[in-house]
Structure 1
């Protein structure tokens, strides 16, 4: 009898082990992918050490995966950065640096992420803002929810917007709004609703889903309850000091902020308006945090979490008054460094949770990583799979991450970081003549206020960083230019 019991236990354990292996093999083979693609979000999150941002749902996701401390975008502006993520090709490979050129207007044959996944039997879903141009690459999404325009829900703000339209003034509505409405009154609440409804419909299919949340992009419009999470008076006014010795075009003072009603066109913003905007930025972050929570809850309820890789990422960083500047549109660290959280499917046996990685990774790496994860045959990429880092956050990785920012067609800023130092060259776009160089230290801060180029104390750092930059941007190779001129 005793022998029989032992044999039964052995068979049970063996068969149970096989079942577990089969389950792991299945989940490992071709998981689903859910990407939260956020607009204009810097690493202003609780999980990144923010002393002000209230983001419990994103923090929870970070606790379920790997948080990347040194992730970088390829250009700090919407359209090129998003094309780079979705094609695995850098802006200088695509030759597109502005928001006015759709990918498919120039590149008919480049294989995009949704195109590859659709061809391999995946439901490909685009919700909200994924590409900058909503209809770009539209045929490669099996389900496509067009991004919506900005909305104002306070009557006085709607009236201002209507008056500006009638007067033909090229000014947008107010830069922020706190209406006492539910989440779905604003577009990101509707985006999470569409995502939840879509997950319920496609739960039995393989899927690649992008949920593009538009906040905290201007205008900072979010339901009042998210504004009420914060006390405006607790926000500190950032230093308006500009980096000493910076190139004359290194910063754009206000970027797109000047295009909004109520924003002065000259001089620095006063402290009161600065706090209003910082308050609105934070309210918008908490608003999108709630949307992430809703979608993740649905993923759990539908039992999809075990077989779904979840990525939380931003298209680029952002300034909220630092250097006396606003928005993105530059090569500075705070604009090109981005939040990136990747959480493996729970059915994967080697899933790493609650870890942070200091590996240098880039948004251009996302496409090849997903190709690797899902066992697909992918196109040539400028990035590389970071799956080894996701599985082992301490893995030794790249020496450098690079980005670009064009100032018109004649000047190109190319920049490189090793995670502690940032070296930038401003070049003639055709001849590659160096117009000016910059070297900033970022060992302990996203901000740096002195250009150290020419300082003999840092000659070795300068030589090393210059070499790293020129590996990606050789002087004998002019920058590809495919941008279509803006229609006026």
Structure 2
């Protein structure tokens, strides 16, 4: 073991900072946009993630490869673009399209790591057994209050008695009996995310008993995905009257009508008014969302404390990642993502390695979720995987001013079109293609229009930019057709 580790250190100098092959603690949060103290937000209370940021580096321009839970997670965990996985919707597993793939956690498992998933890492019900040493674990604790659970039971019972089919989401689903937000008088561990943290801490303590066995532990939290339900103490952190509403409550101007849309899942919850939302209700939504963020933040704090208490911190790389951005009133969209704009595709990413040179710094380097697979592989000194399509971010961790990507790419299907967006330093370019239809374009100036309020693709002075970006995009990703196997 000593000779093996000596060779490991000689091959990968970073390993000298570790007492043995480094562990990975990968923390995922659902629907958390980069609205944290470490991202410059002064409203949200996120002291624990902010503390993690002081240990590591904040990637201020990190992007997912699709603004939808399952495709985003599959892309990140496989290290492949959606153009390769061919999964653009929730439903299919990765091995439906790539049966022989080696995923990121599987690569670690194949190289001697104990890999485990707790909570939402792959999408719930769409997991990948080959990625994990033991089957994925999910808490059986509820996300809602006891009163809401009873309301759901009554709703389901009455629907079945009437012979009504109950869909998973939308009109007629169980969500119709669940409020979009709720403050629950309970302890953290009484709800799902708190219970996930409890079990993750227990797993860390088990690993501490056998420090010679490196681990890849993935811990996924369901919040702040709607419904925004959390213990009341997190609601008490905020003054609702002081919360600021979005200033761009209008659709992107000049955008194709089919493109300037987002999901409507939020509208299916019990207490959501139809039509325009009154201002007091908007504030309640923001209040619930921020409280849900703070609830997750507290669980992250417990995980970090467990690392410190067990002594694992000195030999563990920590990643905090969210699966996409989120809209809370911008462009009239609430509790949603589902498109190719900046607000949907930009996510949280913090990477911390023990004793890192640039701890506490931020970088504007463009980063992609597909970059995590090669990054963690390199940081841990594992053999490179030729299947990973991203680029290692280690040069950026060594120098925040370094650049590894000249663009970040994201996909989204809409109305039979497949849209691919290319986010460069200055521009967000989107090309929409559909068999038998004219190609549509969007172009947003990220310097002057960071929220994508005005599509300038039709302006004559941008014709050459559109032409150059289209050529560059299609040299990397040839035109694809969106084929939904679930469509009838």
TM-score (norm 1): 0.88
Aligned residue runs from structure 1 range 474-485, under 5 A: 474=478, 477-479=479-481, 481=483, 483-485=484-486
Residues 486 and 209 of structure 1: CA distance in aligned 2, closer, same or farther (over 3 Å): farther
Q: Structure 1: how far apart are the matches of 2:54 and 2:358?
A: 10
Aligned position for 2:368: 362
Residues 464 and 174 of structure 1: CA distance in aligned 2, closer, same or farther (over 3 Å): same
Q: Structure 2: how far apart are the matches of 1:154 and 1:84?
A: 33
Return 387-396 or 215-224, whichever deviates more. Answer: 387-396
Q: Structure 1: how far apart are the matches of 2:314 and 2:188?
A: 28
Q: How many Å apart are 1:210 and its aligned residue?
A: 0.6
Unaligned runs of 5+ in 2: 1-8, 160-171
1:405-459 per-residue CA deviation (whole Å, 9 max, x = no partner) reads: 0125x3111111113311111111x46x543211112226641221111223444
Aligned position for 2:203: 198
Aligned position for 2:162: none
Aligned position for 1:10: none
Contact 1:152 1:158 survives alignment (8 Å):
no
Return 162-171 or 196-205, whichever deviates more. Answer: 162-171
Q: Structure 1: how far apart are the matches of 2:481 and 2:144?
A: 44
Residues 86 and 24 of structure 1: CA distance in aligned 2, closer, same or farther (over 3 Å): closer
Residues 254 and 231 of structure 1: CA distance in aligned 2, closer, same or farther (over 3 Å): farther
Query: Does residue 137 in structure 1 map to residue 128 in structure 2?
Result: yes
Aligned position for 2:173: 170
Contact 1:92 1:480 survives alignment (8 Å):
no
Aligned position for 2:398: 391
Aligned position for 1:424: 430
- RMSD over aligned CA atoms reads 2.3
Match of 1:297 among 300, 305, 308: 305
Query: Does residue 160 in structure 1 map to residue 151 in structure 2?
Result: yes
Aligned residue runs from structure 1 range 41-440, under 5 A: 41-134=32-125, 136-148=127-139, 151=142, 153-168=144-159, 169-172=172-175, 173-203=178-208, 204=211, 205-238=213-246, 239-265=248-274, 267-326=275-334, 327-346=336-355, 351-377=357-383, 378-407=385-414, 410-428=416-434, 430=435, 434-440=438-444
1:360-397 per-residue CA deviation (whole Å, 9 max, x = no partner) reads: 11001101111112222224122111111111111133
Contact 1:122 1:206 survives alignment (8 Å):
yes
Contact 2:143 2:192 survives alignment (8 Å):
no
TM-score (norm 2): 0.88
Aligned position for 2:5: none
Contact 2:188 2:194 survives alignment (8 Å):
yes
Greater Rg by CA: 1
Aligned position for 1:8: none
Give the SS at the match of 1:222. Answer: strand
Q: How many Å apart are 1:28 and its aligned residue?
A: 7.9
1:134-172 per-residue CA deviation (whole Å, 9 max, x = no partner) reads: 452124312444334783553442332222212323241
Contact 1:416 1:468 survives alignment (8 Å):
no
Contact 1:329 1:335 survives alignment (8 Å):
yes
Give the SS at the match of 1:384. Answer: coil
Give the SS at the match of 1:358. Answer: strand
Q: How many Å apart are 1:236 and its aligned residue?
A: 2.0
Residues 284 and 445 of structure 1: CA distance in aligned 2, closer, same or farther (over 3 Å): farther
1:87-131 per-residue CA deviation (whole Å, 9 max, x = no partner) reads: 100111111100111112332101112211111111101010000
Return 238-247 or 439-448, whichever deviates more. Answer: 439-448
Q: How many Å apart are 1:469 and its aligned residue?
A: 2.6
Q: Structure 2: how far apart are the matches of 1:233 and 1:67?
A: 30
Contact 1:33 1:310 survives alignment (8 Å):
yes
Query: Does residue 443 in structure 1 map to residue 447 in structure 2?
Result: yes
Contact 2:252 2:260 survives alignment (8 Å):
no
Residues 99 and 28 of structure 1: CA distance in aligned 2, closer, same or farther (over 3 Å): farther
Residues 359 and 22 of structure 1: CA distance in aligned 2, closer, same or farther (over 3 Å): closer
Contact 2:184 2:232 survives alignment (8 Å):
yes
Residues 195 and 91 of structure 1: CA distance in aligned 2, closer, same or farther (over 3 Å): same
Q: Structure 2: how far apart are the matches of 1:223 and 1:444?
A: 39
Return 453-462 or 325-334, whichever deviates more. Answer: 453-462
Residues 311 and 23 of structure 1: CA distance in aligned 2, closer, same or farther (over 3 Å): closer
Q: How many Å apart are 1:281 and its aligned residue?
A: 0.6
Give the SS at the match of 1:438. Answer: strand
